[in-house]
């Protein structure tokens, strides 16, 4: 079998560089192209060493680990041990993720479960790997694309989990409980009092509210013209909020001054008095993970409740 050393080295150089780029993306680090290429060159040098019998020791596992150390140092520079190890293990994760995906896709498409194939695989050595180089060149960019997308999705899910709270609302005769998401982009406030505004979706809890109120909420663009449908106790709590929100441009949002809003997290229990509620029939989350959009200012003004008072309230 003819071995083209230059082709093998170029392919490994490209793969190592791409893996280092993936690592930088996972770590959210902006690294220059030259540093990534330098790290890729160091990693691909192991291919060149393999053609010299006197350098067989470079193919050992300790040598490969040491080479990965040099790749990370060349690409990301010097850092504290903890930061270095984080970069190193992220690089290993990217490598195993890409390699495992390539093998999985390859054998899903081409592998024949037979004694002959098993014998062939067991006796493969050197550069005669059954995963073709052309296949790697074509599929590795796709693996990179879907890997980075999956990592971003996982990060978003974690952030949302960390920013979700159990919320209890009290508004006159209404008492409602749901899941709220802290949205730092929510800047809606009453321009006069500065009271923060939160958005509450009752789409999946319509049965907990009077039919007249649900009907009024469903008329999102005509709510101002149907205030007579509300009870007198709710009319007294109405506040007009000029805002651009929920798909309505340059209109008045009709909010209600809450009696109180209670927020329960894994660490503490809080109670806010100065809150305006804007109701909508629209879903706030495509996967129904939350039904309230919270305001950051609520947490700054909320009173932290002691454990004793919390137990008394819940009981």
Enumerate the domain spans of the chain. 5-161, 164-314
Among residues 16, 183, 190, 291, the one annotated as catalytic is 183
H or E segment to which residue 256 belongs: strand 248-257
For 235, half-sphere exposure in the C-beta direction (CA atoms, 13 angstrom radius) is: 8
- Per-residue pLDDT averaged across 187-192, rounded? 83
Contact 177, 166 (CB under 8 A): yes
**Confidence (pLDDT) at 309:** 58
H or E segment to which residue 303 belongs: strand 303-305
**Confidence (pLDDT) at 154:** 53
* Residue 16 among the catalytic residues: no
Contact 220, 299 (CB under 8 A): no
C-beta atoms surrounding 56 within 10 Å: 11
Contact 173, 233 (CB under 8 A): yes
Within 8 A by CB and 6+ apart from 50, the residues are 58, 59
Inform me whether the pLDDT recorded for 141 exceeds 80.
no
- Per-residue pLDDT averaged across 155-179, rounded? 75
Q: In terms of Cα–Cα distance, which of 251, 226, 254 is closest to 240?
A: 254
* Res. 201 pLDDT band, cuts 50 70 90: very high
* Res. 96 pLDDT band, cuts 50 70 90: confident
Residue count (the chain) = 315
Q: Distance between CA 41 and CA 231 in Å, rounded? A: 74
- Helix axis angle, 61-76 relative to 33-49, nearest 10°? 160
* Res. 112 pLDDT band, cuts 50 70 90: very low
Q: What is the mean pLDDT of the chain?
A: 76
- Per-residue pLDDT averaged across 42-59, rounded? 78
**Confidence (pLDDT) at 129:** 47
């Amino acid at each position: 079998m003819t071995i083209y050393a230059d082709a093998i080295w170029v392919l490994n150089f490209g793969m190592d560089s791409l893996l280092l780029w993936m690592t930088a993306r996972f770590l959210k680090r902006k690294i220059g192209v030259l540093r990534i290429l330098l790290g890729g060159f160091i990693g691909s040098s192991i291919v060149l060493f393999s053609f010299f019998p006197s350098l067989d020791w470079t193919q050992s596992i300790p040598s490969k680990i040491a080479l990965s150390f040099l790749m990370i140092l060349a690409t990301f520079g010097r850092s504290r041990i903890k930061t270095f190890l984080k970069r190193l293990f992220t690089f290993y994760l990217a490598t195993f993720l890409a390699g495992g995906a390539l093998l999985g896709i390859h054998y899903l498409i081409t592998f024949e479960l037979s004694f002959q194939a098993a014998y062939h695989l067991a006796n493969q050595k050197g550069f005669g790997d059954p995963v073709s180089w052309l296949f790697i060149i074509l599929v590795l960019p796709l693996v990179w694309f879907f890997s980075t997308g999956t990592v971003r999705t996982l990060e978003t899910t974690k952030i949302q989990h960390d920013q979700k709270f159990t919320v209890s609302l009290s508004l006159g005769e209404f008492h409602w409980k749901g899941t709220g998401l802290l949205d730092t982009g929510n800047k809606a406030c009453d321009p006069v009092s500065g009271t923060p505004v939160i958005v509450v979706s009752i789409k999946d809890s319509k049965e907990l509210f009077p039919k007249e109120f649900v009907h009024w909420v469903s008329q999102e663009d005509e709510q101002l013209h149907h205030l007579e449908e509300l009870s007198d106790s709710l009319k007294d709590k109405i506040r007009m909020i000029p805002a651009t929100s929920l798909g309505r441009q340059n209109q008045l949002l009709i909010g209600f001054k809450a009696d109180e809003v209670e927020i329960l997290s894994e660490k503490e229990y809080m109670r806010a008095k100065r809150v305006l509620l804007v109701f909508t029939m629209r879903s706030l989350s495509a996967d129904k993970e939350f039904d309230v959009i919270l305001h950051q200012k609520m947490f700054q003004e909320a009173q932290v409740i002691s454990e004793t008072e919390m137990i008394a309230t819940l009981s």
